Each structure stands twice: as structure tokens, then as C-alpha cells.
Amino acid sequence: MDLLDTLTAKGLRGETPTREEALAVLATTDDELLDVVAAAGRVRRRWFGRRVKLNYLVNLKSGLCPEDCSYCSQRLGSKAEILKYTWLKPGQAAEAAKAGVSGGAKRVCLVASGRGPTDRDIDRVTDTVAAIKEADPAVEICACLGLLSDNQAERLKAAGVDAYNHNLNTSEGTYGDIATTHTYADRVDTVQKAHGAGLSACSGLIAGMGESDEDLVDVVFALRELGSDSVPVNFLIPFEGTPLAKEWNLSPQRCLRILAMVRFVNPDTEVRIAGGREVHLRSMQPLGLHLANSIFLGDYLTSEGQAGQTDLDMIADAGFEVEGVGESTLPRHRADIAAAATGGCGSGAAAGAGGGCGTAAAPGEGESADAAVGGGCGTGGGCGPCGGHAHAAPAAASVGAADAKADAKADDRAADEVRTDLVRVRRRGAGTELAPNA
Ligand code: SF4
């Protein structure tokens, strides 16, 4: 298939495809799907080997958000019966983080609901980072606290935070359909503030809210241009009690096409399968590892994932390995640029020990990961649903025929159905008396 040969060649050189080529990936048929996965898998191995980076979410403050992001169970007016609690104490957060690190996570993502942090909230996060790093100085920390005001990113950087997550979620053109209390430009501004302060930029998207293929391609190219070092790909978790509860627009095949497209557009960037992995990829999760080089371990912010041990078993069974603390996540050319931008460590050194979060990838398929390729910048952790997008416009308008068929099937099934069998509200870990899943 000429398209895949072209995309593979570009990806191995670290080049970005054209917009038309990215759209063509989304329009491939189910008959072509394994070829698509194989082609994008070669690009993934070229830059990231067979390593899988594990990240662990700690929801510092849950629910009761004044923002109206329609995809989010913590939104204003949400009827979702999620855990609601205010800020965890530093010791409580450190305990939760320890569980994730013990389970194999090298990055801890500290997330708080809300429009953005107050300066007092930055103090709280500073104390929490100190508690986590006192127990384990090597752990990478990503903060996800919403829109940043002036000087807050600098304060987080000084506190030892390595990365900041703030997702663009969807295209600029449709952003107003998924949230009205802030704008796409607000989100871009926060990613730029974080990056400008030397924090690794983590910014991604949410698929499955009814967006068109063009919307998906728009946001993925925007993320590339923003210099996001980590791109979390969330698949909408349609929570009962939110406006998108019945938006079941994704099939496992559709998710794999989206991941492949994101990989081709971001060949040397960390691509993370984020929220919705179990809900939408289901038994096809292992194929997703051939495309993404990063996942969350265990549970999400307000929903439960599969058991942490099941995540580890899946990685091993699929022939991948958990990325170690001493291994760099990003390929050397990108890690060095990230280090220069953030003042952290470059690719050669271990990413831990308080350094930055770049990382040199092990070469894949006998190829050198050091091959000269263009620049890149910062890096980022990633969080689940604090940044995503949703738009309930008809989904299938521009998708390929096979994909449209699959989506129509999903729509039919979900039209009058809330899938409580697939969406499990988190009832353990942070904010509860029960042990975390890690
Ligand atoms: S995504 Fe973040 S800002 Fe939006 S409603 Fe949810 S917690 Fe609030």
C-alpha cells in the first residue's frame, strides 16, 4: 500500500506526514487495519523500541469543578456519582504515588479539578511534590491543575515538577461546542506558559465525542506544532450523568486507526493511551501497544481501569517491557532539545534523580535512535480527563466506509443505553480508605 510505505518512510526519518495522508489513515478499512498497525508499529519501534512507559494518576481534588467541559464527570452540574473530595494532604498523596511507583510507574501525574490553581493551591502542590520526592527522588512528576496564571508555571518548576499536562482536547473550530467557560486559546496559552517556564509539555486529545476526522487531524497537528513532548490520547468515557453519556462513537478498530494516525504525525513523541483504553479498545488493547509507547497503570481519575497486574501481564505477554527509571523516554535528539529548554538532564542521563524527563530511546529494529532528525521540545506527562473535547455533532460525516459502519453500530447500541458494564466509577485509592489499584 503506497500510503503506508510513504508514512513508514517518513516516520522512520522523523518526518511529519501531510494532512491528507493523516486523513487517509483514518479512512482505511478494517481489511487494511493490521497493515496500518504494522506500519505505525515500525515507526514506534524506531524511536521507542519495545519500551512502555507507565504513568500513575493521583487525583488530588475530585469533582465540584465550576467549568462545564461536557466530557468530564467532574464538571459543573455533573450527576455522575463519582468520588468528591477536596485537596489530599501531602502525605496522603505521597502514599498514593508510592503505590503507583511500586507497581512500575516512573511518572506520577498529580491532577486537581478546577478552572486553575490559586497561589495557595500551588503551595499545596509544592508540599506534595516535596513529600513524593523525599520518598523517591527519581520519580518524574507531572502536574495537571488547569489554566495557569502568570508565574505559576515557574513556581511549579522551582518546586521540582517536571512536566505540566493541559490537553487541547479537540480542534479549535469545535472547541466552543464542548466547553463554554474557557476557550481553546486559553488552553494553548497554558501549554505555552508551562513550556516557557521549562516544564515538559504534555498535551493531548479526546476522541469519541462526535468529532470529524478533520477535527482529529487538526488537533493532532496543532499538538505537534505546540511542541508537546507527550500526547495522551483519551477515548471518551461516557459517564452516566454527563451530557455525553450516550456518545458511543468508537470501535476498537477506530481507536487503533486514531492511535496510528497520532503516531505517524508524532513519530518521535511520547504517545500515551490514556483514559478509555479498557472501555473502547477492550480485547484489542495489546495492539495499541504497537502504536503508543506509554499508558497509565491502574485506575484513572474518576473511573477504574483494569487491575495494575493485568496491565503488567499484558505488556509482557505482548512482548514489550516496562521502561525503567534510568531509561530516557524520548529519542536523544528530542531529549537533548527538551533538556536545553527546561534546564534538565538530556538524553544520556537517567531521567530520574530530579532531572528533566527527556530520554533516549533504545533503537528499534536494529536502527539507531540517534539518527539526526529535526528538533522537538519539551515533554509532558499526561493526565486523564482534564482536557479533552467533546462535540455531539454527527460522527460519521467524514469517516471511511468501514469505519462509518462500525460507528453506526456503536451508535445503535448506545442510543438508549448507558454502559455501566464498561464504565466503572472509581471507588478505591485516593480519597477512599481502600488500597489503590497499581
Ligand atoms: S476537564 Fe478539568 S476543567 Fe474541565 S470540568 Fe473537568 S475538572 Fe473541570
Query: With a 6 A CB cut-off, is 74 part of the ligand 1 pocket?
Result: yes
CA distance 361 to 269: 11
Å from CA of 134 to ligand 1 middle: 30
Q: Are 143 and 123 in contact (CB under 8 A)?
A: no
φ/ψ of residue 283, rounded to 5: -70, -5
Query: With a 6 A CB cut-off, is 384 part of the ligand 1 pocket?
Result: no
Looking at residue 303, the DSSP 8-state letter turns out to be B
Q: Are 205 and 184 in contact (CB under 8 A)?
A: no
C-alpha 45 chain-centroid distance: 19
In this prediction, residue 217 carries a pLDDT of 98
User: In a 3-state reduction of DSSP, which class is residue 270?
Assistant: strand
Query: With a 6 A CB cut-off, is 166 part of the ligand 1 pocket?
Result: no
Q: Whose CA is nearest to atom 2 of ligand 1?
A: 386
272 catalytically annotated:
yes
C-alpha 165 chain-centroid distance: 9
Q: Are 319 and 49 in contact (CB under 8 A)?
A: no
| Catalytic hit among 44, 50, 65, 107 | 65
- Burial category of 31 from C-beta neighbours within 10 Å (exposed 0-12, middle 13-18, buried 19 and up): exposed
User: In a 3-state reduction of DSSP, which class is residue 378?
Assistant: coil
Which of 57, 70, 74 has most ligand 1 atoms within 8 Å of CB, for mutation? 74
Between vectors from CA 432 to CA 243 and to CA 280, what angle results, nearest 5°?
Answer: 40
Query: With a 6 A CB cut-off, is 72 part of the ligand 1 pocket?
Result: yes
Å from CA of 116 to ligand 1 middle: 9
In this prediction, residue 417 carries a pLDDT of 61
pTM of the predicted model as reported, rounded to 2 decimal places: 0.85
Residue 76 Cα: closest atom of ligand 1: 5
In this prediction, residue 343 carries a pLDDT of 56
Q: Whose CA is nearest to atom 7 of ligand 1?
A: 113
383 catalytically annotated:
no
Distances (CA, A) of 49 to 8, 42, 55, 265: 15, 9, 18, 18
Q: Are 389 and 169 in contact (CB under 8 A)?
A: yes
In this prediction, residue 1 carries a pLDDT of 62
Å from CA of 130 to ligand 1 middle: 25
Instruction: Kindly give the confidence (pLDDT) of every residue in the chain, 438 residues in length, as a single tens digit, with 9 standing for 90 and above.
Output: 699 999 999 999 999 999 999 999 999 999 999 999 999 999 999 999 999 999 999 999 999 899 999 999 999 899 998 999 999 999 999 999 999 999 999 999 999 999 999 999 999 999 999 999 999 999 999 999 999 999 999 999 999 999 999 999 999 999 999 999 999 999 999 999 999 999 999 999 999 999 999 999 999 999 999 999 999 999 999 999 999 999 999 999 999 999 999 999 999 999 999 999 999 999 999 999 999 999 999 999 998 999 999 999 999 999 999 999 889 999 989 887 667 666 554 433 333 333 344 434 344 443 433 333 332 222 233 344 443 333 333 333 333 444 444 444 444 444 456 677 789 899 889 989 898 998
In this prediction, residue 422 carries a pLDDT of 84
Q: Are 40 and 257 in contact (CB under 8 A)?
A: no
C-alpha 412 chain-centroid distance: 28
Å from CA of 332 to ligand 1 middle: 34
Task: Specify the pairing of strand 321-322 against strand 107-112.
Answer: unpaired
Å from CA of 70 to ligand 1 middle: 9
Beta bridge partners of 273: 233, 295
144 catalytically annotated:
no
Largest alpha-carbon pair distance within the chain? 56
Query: With a 6 A CB cut-off, is 345 part of the ligand 1 pocket?
Result: no
